[in-house]
Amino acid sequence: MKKLLSLILALCMVLGMTAIASAEEALPTFDQIVLGENTDLTAKIHFAYHRTDIPEKLNGYVEEFRKTYPNIEIEYELITDYAENALLRVGNTDWTIMGIPTVQKDELSKYFVPLGSLETLDKLYNFMSTQSYEGTCYGIPSTGNANGVLYNKRIFAEAGVTELPKTPDEFIAALKAVKEKTDAIPLYTNYAAGWTMGAWDAYIGVAATGKTEYMNQILPHAKDPFADQGNGTGPYAVYKILYDAAAEGLIEEDYTTTDWEGCKPMLNNGEIATMVLGSWAFTQMRDAEGGQHPEDVGYMAFPVSIDGKQYAPAGGDYNFGINVQATREEKLASMYYLKWLTHESGFAYSEGGVPIDKNGEYPDLYAAFDGIEMLSDADALPGEETLMSELNSESELNFNNGGNTKVQEIVEHGFKKDKSFEDIMADWNAAWTEAQESLNVEVK
């Protein structure tokens, strides 16, 4: 018995020591990774990702990558309903790389391998601050998105809209012209899918105010941020477009039975005039199965102007993070693959995204973005990294964080006209104020 005990004890100590030893051998940072080195790395990578629509493309990347790194095996697991599933699995060991779900910033280090300091990586890549905490990056974006509005060029021309609308009033006027002069649905809300409605939250920061600090620094401290600013800017102006469109009958007739996959060829074929979605949706609409006119799909900036100037919010798509519980080989191999995806795969360009590599090329869809400034949200102030997510949770409004219901309600009330837009915004203000009070947030 004693022998057994001592054996176990010895085993524990050996294991403990190896654990310490491997932890001490630090991983290189993301910028230190050079493709073409370490080609004998052997590891198995399990890659959890949300792009269920492009398995062939992703497997093609794996094949391409394995020409240089033949001993690294990569297996993609593509998950529908990704945001929720990933959140449940983030602490597990059954994945090596995953698209980082909405975990709180101070918990990033609990799940993900640090990729390097923000200071260094920010000079080389776009949107690095999104998944960083206290100056350390934990994820690298797959591609960048600029947020604007999808529209059908032919329908706009037929409706006599020659100049792209720049303000909410011009936009509603354009939608009315579409309704009068064409058979297209002026604004397709994609109400039923839910997240497509939450997509409207993306415009309340940079696009509605022109300020990079708005989303993470001003909004948490703002008093009644959803009140009418009187000049067609601010969050009020953004959601007002949706309310007015619903109230004036400028949206699809039976919005409760919309079909996300079905809407793609409809925009392409001119049955839909506009849709408010990020630029990532552009390629999906253009290349939609059953679409006859890919050349008609256009992309424009969100119709809010601040002192005559338009701004487009830009940011990284899902960031890739590496599991902190993986072995050293797996972590290193994952680094090489992510580096390859960022520099060699051409993923961002082919997806119509803003390049992650600062030397990367912009695709043509941003042709209409001439003179429009692309800005990404500034980070929260030090010590307030989790404030926005806490306010989101407390107020139950959940901006940019799955708060789809509140936007769907705008459509419902607009359509039924049973609650004025002012009342809805007043409710939001009340919820926001209450959340600020319960979290003792200083209101400026």
Partner 1 sequence: MSVIASRVQPDLRRKRINWQKVLVITLFAAVPLFLLILFTYIPFAKMIQFSFYNMSYTKNKGYVGLDNYLKVFTKEEYVGAMLLSLYYMAGAVVQLALALFFASILSLERIRGAGIYKAVLFFPFLVNGIAIGYIFKYFYTRGFVLDSVLQAIGIPLDALPYWLRDQSVNNWSLVFTSVWKYCGQNMVLFIGAIASIDPTLYEAATIDGANRWQQFKAIILPGIKTVFMLNLILSITGSLSAFEPAYVVGSMGANGTATFFIKIHQMAHVSQKVGQACAMAMVLMALILLFTVLQRLFFRYVMKDSENTFNAKANKAKALW
**What does the alpha-carbon distance between residue 254 and residue 257 come to, in Å, rounded to a whole number?**
6
393 binds partner 1 (CB under 8 A): yes
Angle subtended at Cα 259 by Cα 352 and Cα 98, rounded to the nearest 5 degrees = 50
Per-position x/- string for 55-84, each x denoting binding to partner 1 as judged by CB under 8 A, each - no binding = -----------------------------x
**What does the alpha-carbon distance between residue 292 and residue 290 come to, in Å, rounded to a whole number?**
6
Size of the site for partner 1 (CB under 8 A): 26
39, 109, 400, 152: CA torsion to nearest 10 = -10
How far out from the chain centre does Cα 66 lie? 29
Cβ contacts of residue 330 below 8 Å, gap of 6+? 43, 44, 45, 96, 323
Q: Phi first, then psi: what are they for 388, rounded to 5°?
A: -60, -45
28 binds partner 1 (CB under 8 A): no
Both tokens assigned to 95: 């994945």
Strand pairing partners for 96? none
Provide the minimum distance between the beta carbon of 95 and partner 1 in the complex, in angstroms, as a whole number.
18
Provide the minimum distance between the beta carbon of 239 and partner 1 in the complex, in angstroms, as a whole number.
16
211-240 residues in contact with partner 1 (CB under 8 A) are: none
- The distance between the two most distant Cα atoms of the chain, rounded to a whole number of Å, is 91
327 binds partner 1 (CB under 8 A): no
257 binds partner 1 (CB under 8 A): yes
Both tokens assigned to 129: 């601050």
**What does the alpha-carbon distance between residue 422 and residue 214 come to, in Å, rounded to a whole number?**
22
Q: Which is nearer to partner 1, 223 or 416 (CB)?
A: 416
Binding segment (CB under 8 A) for partner 1, from list 191-199, 288-296, 323-331, 335-343: 191-199
Q: Which is nearer to partner 1, 72 or 108 (CB)?
A: 108
434 binds partner 1 (CB under 8 A): no
**What does the alpha-carbon distance between residue 408 and residue 386 come to, in Å, rounded to a whole number?**
26
Rule CB under 8 A: choose which of 75, 94, 259, 434 binds partner 1.
259
Provide the minimum distance between the beta carbon of 307 and partner 1 in the complex, in angstroms, as a whole number.
36
Rule CB under 8 A: choose which of 39, 92, 104, 420 binds partner 1.
104
**Which positions lie near partner 1, rule CB under 8 A?**
84, 104, 107, 191-194, 253-257, 259, 392-394, 396, 398, 401-405, 408, 412, 416
